[in-house]
Amino acid sequence: MNNLTFGRYVPFNTVVHRLDPRNKILMMILLLVSIFFRVSTWSTALILTGFQFLILIGIMLLAHVSFKSLFKSLSMMWILILFLMIIYIFIPNPAYNADHIAFHIGNYAVNYDAFVQAGYIIFRLVMMIMITMILTSTTKPMDLTYALEWYMTPLKIVRFPSHIVAMTLSIALRFIPTLLDETQRIMKAQSSRGVDFNHGGLIRRVRALISLVIPLFVSAISRSEELSNAMEARGYDPYGKRSRYRILSFHFVDLVGFVFVVAIFGAMLTFLILDKKYMNVDFIYWIFHAKPNF
């Protein structure tokens, strides 16, 4: 259950919390895309990602996102890191510099570039996690669904029922804690009847899990029936005209935030386009090589 704490909404009253969720989603997408822009030289790439990293740290501090839960979620990533390392080390890449050989495994030469490459990817993945964490821990899940609904409205032209999808999503979100409680209750009930969820081999555990999943599904289905009755009784008609209680509004802060993010995005894009031809900001290269080669 503890894994679920990752990215859970934490109620604070910061600027980031107050931003319009629609704006936040858009900004998140822009930042995510800009992280995965690739420039040609290592040092440029390092400087740019480092710059983005610092900005993200700044936003996290501003939004009171806990670094502890970030580390917690990163500790779950070590399998991925290992996997990436193995992939990068054992798949030969002609682009690697043949001089940069770290060590040999048998006859196979392991290149330094492989580590750098893998590290770079992992670094960007970490930043990706940071961005999504900033979004989910500063935005109520309900506000996210309202924002998604807003983004889906153009689909109404092709008769896509965006409001129904949003309603379904919001009900699903609303019932997560209820179903978690239910899971705990069924687990206790089954444990008291002698089911052991924590010991034994894989097959035994899966068997134990079945005794949890089936009652959970049965209760969820009967719940959904009661819920639909309650909704109908309160006059819900998915195809009828409904007014809205929650209204999303775009404030001046949103504009400031948006301009800021677009500026970052624009800067990254400029680097990406001008990189090869005109802008060699290969500072590190200059520092370490007395005679620059341009």
Q: Interface residues with other proteins (CB under 8 A)?
A: 140-142, 170-171, 173-174, 177-178, 181, 223, 226-227, 229-237, 240-247
Nearer to other proteins, 4 or 158 (CB): 4
Nearer to other proteins, 99 or 226 (CB): 226
Shortest distance (Å) from residue 170 CB to other proteins: 7
Shortest distance (Å) from residue 255 CB to other proteins: 24
Nearer to other proteins, 109 or 231 (CB): 231
Shortest distance (Å) from residue 242 CB to other proteins: 5
Rounded to whole angstroms, the maximal C-alpha distance in the chain is 80
Nearer to other proteins, 201 or 235 (CB): 235
Nearer to other proteins, 89 or 248 (CB): 248
Q: What angle do helix axes 112-138 and 78-90 make, rounded to 10 degrees?
A: 150
CB 191 within 8 A of CB 197: yes
Give the chain as a DSSP string: -GGGGTT-------HHHHS-HHHHHHHHHHHHHHHT---SSHHHHHHHHHHHHHHHHHHHHHTT--HHHHHHHHHTTHHHHHHHHHHHHHS--TTS-TT-EEEEETTEEEEHHHHHHHHHHHHHHHHHHHHHHHHHHHS-HHHHHHHHHHHHGGGGGGT--HHHHHHHHHHHHHHHHHHHHHHHHHHHHHHHTT--SSSS-HHHHHHHHHHHHHHHHHHHHHHHHHHHHHHHHTT--TTS----S------HHHHHHHHHHHHHHHHHHHHHHHTTTT----HHHHHH-SS---
Shortest distance (Å) from residue 232 CB to other proteins: 6
Shortest distance (Å) from residue 288 CB to other proteins: 55
Query: How many Cβ atoms from other residues are within 10 Å of residue 8's Cβ?
Result: 11
Shortest distance (Å) from residue 182 CB to other proteins: 9
Nearer to other proteins, 62 or 171 (CB): 171
Shortest distance (Å) from residue 18 CB to other proteins: 15
Nearer to other proteins, 4 or 247 (CB): 247
